[in-house]
Amino acid sequence: MIEVKGGTEHQRELFYSTLYNSLLQPHLVAKKGASLRGRNSDGHVAEYDRYSPIAFWDTGRNQIVLLTLLEPEVKTNILRTHLEMARESGWMHTSFYGDHAVFMYLGDWERGVPFDYASVYEYLRKNAMDPAGPRGDLAEYLKNGWVHEDFQEHPSPPNADGHAGVDKTLEYSWDDYALAQFAKKLGKDDDYKMFLARAHNYTNVFDASTGFMRGRAADGSWISPYDPFEPYYNYMSKEASGWQNFWLVPHDVQGLINLVGGRTNFLTKLDTFFNTPYHPKGIARDVTGIIGLYCQGNQPDQQVAYYYDYAGQPWKTQELVRKILALMYGSDKYGLAYPGMDDQGSTSSWYVFSAMGFYTVDPSSPDYIIGSPLFDEVKIHLGNGKDLIIQAKNNSDKNLYIQSATLNGQPWNKPWFSHADIANGGKFIFQMGSKPNPKWGSAPDAAPPSMSKQ
């Protein structure tokens, strides 16, 4: 499915190992023609290969796209599985605090996978509108545009109590943006406008006085005291610190840039994030694999190394991606270590995408954000029978910076590309060097798309 050339033997071992781990889930529950029992306890014969549920809070950020690229027929059966589970239970499946099934369905629609998307929308919309459903604290979110947090003591390690109000607000806003695009594709203009307005709710937990996403009490006041350096489990953030949760707005990175006052301030904040030593006062539960304040070992901020592409300094994304690949995977004496939780293939999928040279910052969009190819050549055998080839000329551990690029022989000066650009295969060629090229991919109009404008 994917062939790589170049790199070290250890890098190739890590790549194929993480690719294997990326594809272990979801697992096959029943082959077509086999007997099975659905979520409503009714027994029947499977009309197609039925799979276990996707862990949307985790693999919904990246692995769902990898499956589409490599195994579209399997992915179609996964789409059918989740729709049938929704019909059986009355609700679209979710996991943790996001409602990210919409990422999978919209992302596959954007990538041209044939499916009955109109039928799916009924359940995606119900999840987003009915407080009796799986979106926790939805009634409050619908009323206020944010989810509150209770005042409570938090020992070290932190307990599991709390609303995770900041995290829910951020993730529901992200979900709502995807739902807006879904509604737009279906011609449901009123729903499009409603969900698009809700997609800005992340701004309701931005505290300009601190420059962070901050928890709010039930009366709307800011939670105090507040320390963005401290990791929490379900208090305000979800398995993250305020620093790590700040960036959880993948649908509107430009909106974050605008919130903090422009590119210069945003780049300063990114630099601080990746270069400030991490010394929490309390034990960091599920916050591991640290570079500066960044956490590679859990999902909330795994996309942030790619945010420099949005702010005009893509060479810093290239440098950071290579650093994370080198330091966070296989760095133990056995060469097998992970930076934290793989969570059914999410952390593995991060490695696979990043080693190939790009990543799905927002999986519901058809766009891929460019990093730094680890190998001299990657050949991706797409599920439609076409090949996407990525070649990195003059590539090495030191020559990690992109100097120039072409796609199918034409100059490519953007640090991102869309699925439409490679749907029928193609060939990227990157010229690599030992020093950053500040001119490549840095123009304001070269930035990846966001909900907000510059």
DSSP run (H or E) holding 2: strand 2-5
User: Among 260, 255, 231, 353, which Cα is nearest to 303's?
Assistant: 353
454 in a domain, yes or no?
Answer: no
CA angle 155, 156, 161 (to 5 degrees): 50
- pLDDT less than 70: residues of the chain: 38-42
**What pLDDT score was predicted for residue 308?**
98
Tell me how many degrees the CA angle 317-56-385 measures, rounded to the nearest 5. Answer: 70
Q: What's the domain count of the chain?
A: 1
Residue 451 is assigned to a structural domain of this protein: no
Per-residue pLDDT at 309: 98
Is residue 343 a part of any domain in this protein?
A: yes
Structure confidence at residue 41 (pLDDT) = 59
Run of H or E residues at 139: helix 138-144
> Which pLDDT belongs to residue 292?
97
- 65 sits in which H/E element: helix 63-70
For residue 118, being part of any structural domain is answered with yes
Contacts of 438 (CB under 8 A, 6+ apart): 313, 315
452 within a domain of the structure (yes/no): no
Q: Is residue 453 part of a domain?
A: no
Is 306 exposed, middle or buried, given 0-12, 13-18 or 19+ CB atoms closer than 10 A?
buried
User: Looking at the domain assignment, is residue 411 inside a domain?
Assistant: yes
The pLDDT of residue 40 is 64
Closest to 290 (Cα-Cα) out of 333, 234, 233, 229:
229
Look at residue 432 and tell me if it is in a domain: yes
C-alpha to C-alpha distance for 392 and 34, rounded to whole angstroms: 46
The pLDDT tens digits for 338-395 are 999 898 899 999 999 999 999 999 999 999 999 999 999 999 999 999 999 999 999 9
Structural tokens at position 306: 């790619």
- Return the CATH number at 103: 3.30.2080.10
Q: Would you say 179 and 187 are in contact if contact means Cβ atoms under 8 Å apart?
A: no
> 95: Cβ–Cβ under 8 A, 6 or more apart, which residues?
53, 54, 55, 56, 57, 58, 60
Query: What would the pLDDT profile of 60-102 be if each residue is shown by its tens digit?
Result: 999 999 999 999 999 999 999 999 999 999 999 998 888 999 9
- The residue segments making up the domain with residue 396 are 2-446
